[in-house]
């Protein structure tokens, strides 16, 4: 081991970090100063990676869960040879920079995930480690081990205080993810001061209780770090937490204090820190020549990691053509199998959650890399795959149904980790009302442009007896408000089939399927091209070939309500539009939107949720037939009657 080179790398990380943060007048110097040795050891001595190709499939993954320490990551990416330049670092936190304030997937070469919201990085790392086990079981053969990599993560106290890390860590321990290694930067400082003011539990015992191997050491003992990592790698049936005693803002005058965590050091302290590091205070963005030499000497080793794998991969492809076909399909997002979708006819009475369950089994045959599960609601939200090979577990890595337990936030973030890992298309399922628990992860998936699929059933007051706590009101509007999230609310079983196919075709955004608990009739569709037109967000169900007096725009189960109301309205031509995707419809050109709405004088909107967001579709507030209050406990039809949300009242509104 080249200890001189590692020391030079650590010094350079500290130098670049404090100068970039000072120049930007914004940032978090504490973590880069405190964890520089770990980054140097990981990227120089531990990771199986090739900076010349950051997307090599069998690379080790590194997740910076404590994303505020982004300059640590940018510095080591630059030094080790990723496509991050010194000029990029000098433009830290500036518009258009490849070094934004927190790491962003797809922006900076070598960044494996978007991080910043604390705790989610750990959960994403859990998902990545799970994806590795699934792929290894599926693709590795007796002669070739083409999937064999580790997932590493760096977290701080803040990550471990957030609840999502507890959910994910419990799940990881239960599932014995032995190739997951998390480093805990144990500096005992948070923004408001010492963590002792709020955080005094025994973290080691907590993680042992989760089923993890817990190791302890010193952040600045380089040889000790390597020994700890080797010990962690030898434990194959437990994830490992390596607790590293550290000093936040090491070498800065205010090291070990809260003030060094989240603000620039200031010119005087930058100079003093450089002096402590043995750097000329007047030299900015100093790069130790030995740090460049160190990584230059590593280039051939890094390249050999990938070239050796490529040779083995080519042999594996020749020996296993069917597996190779599946591998290619999984990374391209195309089918690698065949199946028949269940067909429905007008008059069938089917809950859209049930139709979704049928589609999951059909798509499981069509896409062998489709993997998913539920937060302890598989039977209720019909999210089990009949072709799944069983439930995923330490004993059955082939299982494609995942039991997440009652951990909605952890589940969503773990699915995001599987998705960004590559080669897996994940879906997760719970009730729509519990999307509140998942929202931060859904938002992160949208930022990262990852096509995770969320099955959200029990989508309205028609949940019934469970009452206001379980009857979603504002949730559809809240989810539609997240940029780059597609919300699909099909009206019947046929539309559910189409919605699932739309979801599977996504490659750059997450998709939500909002589905009914109750049975809804399959309705006649006057538009013979509805399967194509639904991809524009909306289509005409009734009243296609006549100029309407009124148009009713409805979503989900309320399409049937609209059709019922039409029968009660005499002497008027009423058009009914099923708007499966409101945002997609609004993106269409004005001519198409007017064609679908029919140029009616009055356009009504019917949705069993709040009115927020529908104002631009309805001609006025008077035409909003929505619910802007919480629900009640009782049988579904009685709840609707109590709230005045019935076809009869809709008909009265139209007739006014």
String of b and e for 285-301 (b: at least 16 CB within 10 Å)? Answer: ebbbebbbebbeebeee
Please tell me the distance from the alpha carbon of residue 372 to that of residue 416, in angstroms, as a whole number: 11
The sign of the dihedral angle between the CA atoms of 531, 536, 540, 545 is negative
- How far apart are the C-alpha atoms of 591 and 266, rounded to whole Å? 57
Q: pLDDT tens, 512-549?
A: 999 999 999 999 999 999 999 999 999 999 999 999 99
Please report, for the chain, how many H helices and E strands are present, in that order. 24, 20
pLDDT for residue 111: 98
- The tokens 């589905």 sit on which residue? 515
Beta-carbon count within 10 A of 573 CB:
15
Task: Give 295-307 pLDDT, tens digit per residue.
Answer: 999 999 999 999 9
Closest CA to 19 of 113, 99, 117: 99
Query: pLDDT value at position 432?
Result: 98
For the question of residue 230 being annotated catalytic, the response is no
Catalytically annotated residue among 104, 167, 403, 408? 408
DSSP 8-state assignment for residue 473: S
Containing H/E element for 183? strand 180-186
Q: Cα angle vertex 434, ends 433, 437, to 5°?
A: 135
Other CB atoms within 10 A of residue 376 CB: 15
Q: On the CB side of 540, how many CA atoms lie within 13 Å of its CA?
A: 22
Tens-digit pLDDT profile for residues 567-625: 999 989 999 999 999 999 999 999 999 999 999 999 999 999 999 999 999 999 999 99
Distance (Å, rounded) from C-alpha 483 to C-alpha 198? 35
Q: pLDDT for 49-80, tens place per residue?
A: 999 999 999 999 999 999 999 999 999 999 99
Confidence at residue 330, expressed as pLDDT on a 0 to 100 scale: 98
Extract the tokens encoding 322. 């069917």
CA distance 216 to 218: 7
Q: Tell me: pLDDT of 556 over 80.
A: yes
Indicate the SS3 state at residue 462.
Answer: helix
Q: CA-CA distance, 650 to 656, in Å (whole number)?
A: 10
239 Ramachandran zone, left/alpha/beta (phi>0; psi -120 to 50): beta
Confidence band for 214, pLDDT divided at 50, 70 and 90: very high
188 contact partners, CB below 8 Å, separation of at least 6: 157, 194, 195, 196
In tens, the pLDDT along 433-488 reads: 999 999 999 999 999 999 999 999 999 999 999 999 999 999 999 999 999 999 99
SS3 assignment, position 84: coil
Residue 549 has a CB neighbour count (10 Å cut-off) of: 17
Q: Are 454 and 512 spatial neighbours (Cβ–Cβ below 8 Å)?
A: yes
489 has pLDDT over 90: yes
How far, in Å, CA of 329 to CA of 63, rounded? 26
pLDDT at 550 over 80: yes
Query: Whole-angstrom Cα distance, residue 208 to residue 170?
Result: 10
Q: Which residue in the block uniquely carries the two structure tokens 């030299």?
A: 283
């Amino acid at each position: 081991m080249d200890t001189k080179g590692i020391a030079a790398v650590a010094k350079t990380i500290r130098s670049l970090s404090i100068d970039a943060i000072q120049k930007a007048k914004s940032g978090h110097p504490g973590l880069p100063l405190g964890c520089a040795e770990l980054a140097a050891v990981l990227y120089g001595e531990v990771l199986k990676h090739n900076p010349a190709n950051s997307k090599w499939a069998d690379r080790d993954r590194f997740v910076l869960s404590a994303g505020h320490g982004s300059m640590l990551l940018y510095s080591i990416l630059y030094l080790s040879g990723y496509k991050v330049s010194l000029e990029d670092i000098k433009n830290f936190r500036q518009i258009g920079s490849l070094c934004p304030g927190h790491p962003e997937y797809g922006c900076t070469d070598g960044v494996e995930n978007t991080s910043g919201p604390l705790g989610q990085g750990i959960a994403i790392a859990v998902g990545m480690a799970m994806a590795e086990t699934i792929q290894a079981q599926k693709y590795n053969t007796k002669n070739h081990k083409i999937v064999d990599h580790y997932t590493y993560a760096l977290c701080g106290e803040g990550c471990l205080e957030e609840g999502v890390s507890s959910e994910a860590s419990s799940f990881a321990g239960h599932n014995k993810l032995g190739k997951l290694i998390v480093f805990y930067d144990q500096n005992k400082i948070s923004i408001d001061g010492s963590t002792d003011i709020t955080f005094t539990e025994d973290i080691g015992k907590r993680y042992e209780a989760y089923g993890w191997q817990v190791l302890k050491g010193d952040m600045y003992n380089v040889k000790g770090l390597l020994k700890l990592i080797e010990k962690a790698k030898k434990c194959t049936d437990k994830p490992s937490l390596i607790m590293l005693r550290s000093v936040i803002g090491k070498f800065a005058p205010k090291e070990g204090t809260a003030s060094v965590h989240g603000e620039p050091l200031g010119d005087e302290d930058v100079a003093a820190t450089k002096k402590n590091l043995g750097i000329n205070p007047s030299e900015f963005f100093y790069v130790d020549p030995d740090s460049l030499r160190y990584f230059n000497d590593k280039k051939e080793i890094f390249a050999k990691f990938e070239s050796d794998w490529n040779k083995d991969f080519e042999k594996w492809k020749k020996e296993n053509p069917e597996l190779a076909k599946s591998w290619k399909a999984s990374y391209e997002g195309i089918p690698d199998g065949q199946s028949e979708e269940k067909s429905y006819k007008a008059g069938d009475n089917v809950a859209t959650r049930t139709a979704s369950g049928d589609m999951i089994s059909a798509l499981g045959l069509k896409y062998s890399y489709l993997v998913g599960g539920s937060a302890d609601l598989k039977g209720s939200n019909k999210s089990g795959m009949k072709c799944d090979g069983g439930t995923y577990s330490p004993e059955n890595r082939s299982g494609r149904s995942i039991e997440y337990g009652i951990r909605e936030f952890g589940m969503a973030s773990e699915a995001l980790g599987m998705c960004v890992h590559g080669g897996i298309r994940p879906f997760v399922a719970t009730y729509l009302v519990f999307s509140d628990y998942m929202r931060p992860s859904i938002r992160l998936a949208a930022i990262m442009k990852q096509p995770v699929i969320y099955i959200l059933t029990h989508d309205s007051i028609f949940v019934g007896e469970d009452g206001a706590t379980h009857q979603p009101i504002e949730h559809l509007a809240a989810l539609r408000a997240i940029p780059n999230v597609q919300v699909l609310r099909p009206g019947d079983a046929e539309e559910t089939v189409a919605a699932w196919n739309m979801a599977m075709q996504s490659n750059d955004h997450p998709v939500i399927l909002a589905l009914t608990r109750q049975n809804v009739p399959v309705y006649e569709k006057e538009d013979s091209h509805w399967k194509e037109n639904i991809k524009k967000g909306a289509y005409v169900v009734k009243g296609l070939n006549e100029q309407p007096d009124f148009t009713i725009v409805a979503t989900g189960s309320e399409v049937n309500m609209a059709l019922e109301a039409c029968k009660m309205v005499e002497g008027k031509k009423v058009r009914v539009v099923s708007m499966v995707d409101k945002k997609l419809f609004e993106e269409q050109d004005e001519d198409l939107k007017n064609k679908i709405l029919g140029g009616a004088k009055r356009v009504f909107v019917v949705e069993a949720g709040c009115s927020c967001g529908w104002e631009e579709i309805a001609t006025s507030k008077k035409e909003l037939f929505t619910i802007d209050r919480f629900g009640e406990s009782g049988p579904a039809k009685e709840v609707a009657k109590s709230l005045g949300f019935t076809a009869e009242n809709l008909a009265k509104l139209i007739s006014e």
